[in-house]
Amino acid sequence: MIAVDTNVLVRLLTRDDPIQADRAAALFEREEVFICKTVLLETEWVLRFSYGLENLVIFKALTNVLGLPHVTVEDNPVVVQALSLFQSGMDFADALHLASSKSAVQFATFDERLKKRAANFNHQVVLA
């Protein structure tokens, strides 16, 4: 199994550099690929800020990659829950933080927007 960096995943998704995109695609076809949660987090950020993609486009791209036959994602149930929250309108980073902290009783933040959004999804978030 080979783990990939954010730049490999971004090339695969955006095809903004045809040579690197082809190399990334070949890697995903011939290898068992492992994607860390942090790579997903960074990829979402890059796609949103550097490429100006909308959340729905990013959601579909990430979901499609995670559905590829030779792909394993770190902490898959957490990532699936985070993607579900993201699809429902929560910021991806916030969604991943919440989903990753399920074993905690509460999640403390100074972000009032996160507290309000999390309440809509039955997550216990408190203001620090």
**Size of the chain, expressed as the number of residues it contains:** 128
Which CATH code is given to the segment(s) 1-74? 3.40.50.1010
pLDDT tens digits for range 87-107: 989 999 999 998 998 887 778
pLDDT value of residue 82: 95
CATH 3.40.50.1010 spans which residues of the chain?
1-74
Q: pLDDT confidence of 85, banded at 50, 70, 90?
A: very high
pLDDT value of residue 107: 80
Residue 15 pLDDT > 60: yes
| Rounded distance between C-alpha atoms, residue 8 and residue 17, angstroms | 11
pLDDT tens digits for range 26-55: 999 999 999 999 999 999 999 999 999 999
HEC readout, the chain: CEECCHHHHHHHHHCCCHHHHHHHHHHHHHCCEEECHHHHHHHHHHHHHCCCCCHHHHHHHHHHHHCCCCEEECCHHHHHHHHHHHHCCCCHHHHHHHHHCCCCCCEEECCHHHHHHHHHCCCCEEEC
- Is the entire prediction scored with pTM above 0.85? yes
| Rounded distance between C-alpha atoms, residue 27 and residue 11, angstroms | 12
